Amino acid sequence: MKNWKLAAWLCASVALPVMAHAEELEVTHWWTSGGEAAAVGELAKAFDASGDTWKDGAIAGSGGVARPIIISRIMGGDPMGATQLNHGRDAEELIAAGLLQDITDVAEAEGWRDIIKPISLLDACTVDGKVYCAPINIHSWQWMWLSNKAFADAGVPVPANWDEFVADREALEKAGKIPLAMGQQSWQSNGAFGVIAVAIGGPDLWKKINVDKDAEAARSPEMTKVFEQADIARQLSAKSTVQDWNQATNMVITGEAGAQIMGDWAQGEFAVAGQVAGKDYTCLPGLGVNKIISTGGDAFYFPVNEDPEVTAAQKRLASLIVSKEVQVAFNSKKGSLPIRGDVDLSTVNDCTKQGLEILASGNILPDGTMTLSADTRTQLDDLLTEFWSTPSMTVADVQEKYASIIETAE
């Protein structure tokens, strides 16, 4: 009996100090595709290595499926340890309701304001001077990915900008290629349209519409040009019938399609397929017309928890996310850009380098998730997917509807 007690006491005295620094944190996210899961793996590995335990709560199906689950868990008073959310306007109300953990002390202790670049990422996490999320990466939509194989098969050089690409249409079609791969989901139509809008209409017009919500700018003749190019893109992608974005990316990887307009996360898929930037595929930021990138991205939020141990673990995770090592490991797997300018990027590929150069030159735009509410974005998704798959819908028609959504946008 005595021995047993002694043993228990010994065990406890050994285990407790460790316990104090080892918490199991459940983390919800929707990163389940090949490149994404590999990137999360890096983050989890780092968290486990620091003594805590990462409990994975992956839900496939992106924001639409994961979001009600995340919000319900937080509202139900039984929240997860940390959760992915698009930063920007998604979390505003949860913060206002006092449901998300304030991590300002971590941000200040580690000087996030000095290391995070561009600072708009931290601003998106900041409400009333307090920091509520840890940004993990920069994603930009403004990319077109071209299959070198498809153009070689068609016997034409890989185009250097949008107009050249459009001119290659016949050659591609003759070689049995679909010029432009497009998934059928509505956010893809809206995203690709946004890329065309920035490239053809220029950043100022884009800002007028998306930041100032100027409906007159949306009705302007410059915008008509944008819609005309979108109309061409719609014709180029008419034969593409896949659903998911990475199925479309796969068409570019296999050389079935000439190109895809998609954010830089597509690069993760090229990496998983073992393709090399510059050799197997080519990237054109801003469609090769306006070299500019938007700086959206993902961030982790930490729901308020009653257990101080959990709160401490949440803060440890927050600081880990921003750390140099995790930034490099995570972003090289995910195909996104790191959120700090001071990391060693000698290992990154050609396309990421281009992205970093543009980032350094300051040619950046805020992302749609930061400027428009989810509601407005969903309305635009609906409109543009209708446009994209309804050949009878005219440019004038879609432009007017677009402008009226911008008119009521928040």
Partner 1 sequence: MADVTHALGVRAKAGPRGARPKPLFSRRNIMVYGTLGLVSLYYLLPLWVMVVTSLKGMPEIRLGNVFAPPVEITFQPWVKAWAEACTGLNCDGLSRGFFNSVRILIPSVICSIAVASVSGYALSMWKFRGSEVFFTILMIGAFVPYQIMIYPIVILLRELGLYGGLWGLVLVHTVFGLPILTLLFRNYFATVPEELFKAARVDGAGFWAIFFKIMMPMSLPIFVVALILQVTGIWNDFLFGVIYTKPDLYPMTVQLNNIVNSVQGVKEYNVNMAATLLTGLVPLTIYFISGKLFVRGIAAGAVKG
Partner 2 sequence: MTQRPTRLFRNASSKLALVPMITITLVVFVGCTLWTVLYSFTKSKSLPRLDFNGLDNYARLWKTSRWLVSIENIAIYGVLSMVLSLTLGFLLAALLDQKIRFEDTFRTILLYPFALSFIVTGLVWQWILNPDFGVQHVVRGLGFTSFEFDPLYNPEIVIYGILIAGLWQGTGLIMCIMLAGLRGIDEDIWKAARVDGIPMWKTYLYVVIPMMRPVFITAIVLIAAGIVKVYDLVVAQTSGGPGIASEVPAKYVYDYMFRGQNLGQGFAASTMMMLCVVIVLIPWAYLEFGGKKRG
The footprint of partner 2 (CB under 8 A) covers: 63-64, 67-68, 71, 75, 90, 92-94, 97, 184-186, 241, 243, 373-375, 377-379, 382, 385-390, 401, 408
Cβ contacts of residue 401 below 8 Å, gap of 6+? 383
Cis peptide before 308 (omega within 30 of 0): no
Contact of residue 250 among partner 1, partner 2, none (CB under 5-8 Å per partner type): partner 1
Contact of residue 378 among partner 2, partner 1, none (CB under 5-8 Å per partner type): partner 2
- Which among 250, 102, 255 has a CA at the least distance from the CA of 179? 255
Return the amino acid letter for 245: W
Cβ 59 to partner 1, closest distance in Å? 7
If 0-12 CB within 10 Å is exposed, 13-18 middle and 19+ buried, where does residue 408 land?
exposed
Structure-token pair, residue 231:
């109309």
Judged by beta carbon, residue 275 or residue 331, the one nearer partner 1 is 275
- Pick out residues in 3-32 that bind partner 1 (CB under 8 A): 26, 29, 31-32
Among positions 51, 77, 111, 157, the unique one binding partner 1 when judged by CB under 8 A: 77
Q: Is 253 in the site for partner 1 (CB under 8 A)?
A: yes
Judged by beta carbon, residue 237 or residue 246, the one nearer partner 1 is 246
Q: What are phi and psi of 32, to 5 degrees?
A: -125, -5
Cβ contacts of residue 307 below 8 Å, gap of 6+? none
Question: What is the Cα–Cα distance from 329 to 345, expressed in whole angstroms?
Answer: 11
Helix intervals (H) in 297-338: 308-322, 324-334
Tell me, by CB under 8 A, how many residues bind partner 1.
Answer: 36
Strands across the sheet containing 298-301 = 53-58, 24-29, 82-86, 298-301, 133-135
**Selected range binding partner 1 among 216-224, 241-249, 291-299, 327-335, rule: CB under 8 A:** 241-249
Q: Could you give the string, one character per residue 263-292, with x where binding to partner 1 holds by CB under 8 A and - elsewhere?
A: ------x--xx-------------------
Cβ 186 to partner 1, closest distance in Å? 16
Q: What are phi and psi of 299, to 5 degrees?
A: -150, 160
Q: Could you give the string, one character per residue 33-62, with x where binding to partner 1 holds by CB under 8 A and - elsewhere?
A: xx--x--xx--x---------xxxxxxxx-
Contact of residue 143 among partner 1, partner 2, none (CB under 5-8 Å per partner type): none
Question: What is the Cα–Cα distance from 136 to 342, expressed in whole angstroms?
Answer: 14
Judged by beta carbon, residue 254 or residue 361, the one nearer partner 2 is 254
**Selected range binding partner 1 among 64-72, 225-233, 344-352, 368-376, rule: CB under 8 A:** 64-72
Contact of residue 272 among partner 2, partner 1, none (CB under 5-8 Å per partner type): partner 1
Using DSSP bridges, classify how beta strands 364-365 and 293-294 pair: parallel, antiparallel or unpaired.
parallel
Cβ contacts of residue 343 below 8 Å, gap of 6+? 324, 327, 328
Helices H / strands E in the chain, number of each: 22, 13
Binding site for partner 1 (CB under 8 A): 26, 29, 31-34, 37, 40-41, 44, 54-61, 65, 68-69, 71-73, 75-78, 244, 246-247, 250, 253, 269, 272-273
